[in-house]
Amino acid sequence: MRPVSLDNAVWLLTGLAAVVVLLTRMRLASEQSQAGHALVPKSVVNAHTLVGVVALAVWIAYLSSPGGALGAVALVVWWIEVLIGILILARWMSGSGKHATATTGDSWGEGPALSILGHVGMLLGISFFTWVVLADKLG
């Protein structure tokens, strides 16, 4: 059995990042059906989705022809995406404050476990992407 190449691992993580952006959008698309303790405004959800799509597009362009400043631009956009996601997660988990509401039903699981997995995974994945770009590991 051959080991997974670094390039294939990066493409796999890129696909997982796309899934996290999509699932976050789907989970928070309606303010009325959010499962958390605090509503996340549609403008924040829209910003998260837009930045995520831009990050994916620039990152895929970089992966298609590595080199140059495109990798740095992609990393900046990815880190903005991660920051927005972590802020959404922190607000969702806070459970207090003027925006607090009772938890509603969530067909994706009880509590914030899925969101924690996705956003901590994104943080780790983008950290890995940062290492890949800064260490110039792609062929």
Stated pTM of the model: 0.81
pLDDT digits (tens, 9 = 90+) for 60-115: 999 998 887 999 999 999 999 999 988 888 877 765 444 445 445 455 555 677 77
Residue written as token pair 């740095």: 72
Report helix, strand or coil for 34: coil
pLDDT given for residue 26 in this prediction: 82
Which residue intervals of the chain are DSSP H helices?
6-28, 42-64, 70-94, 113-134
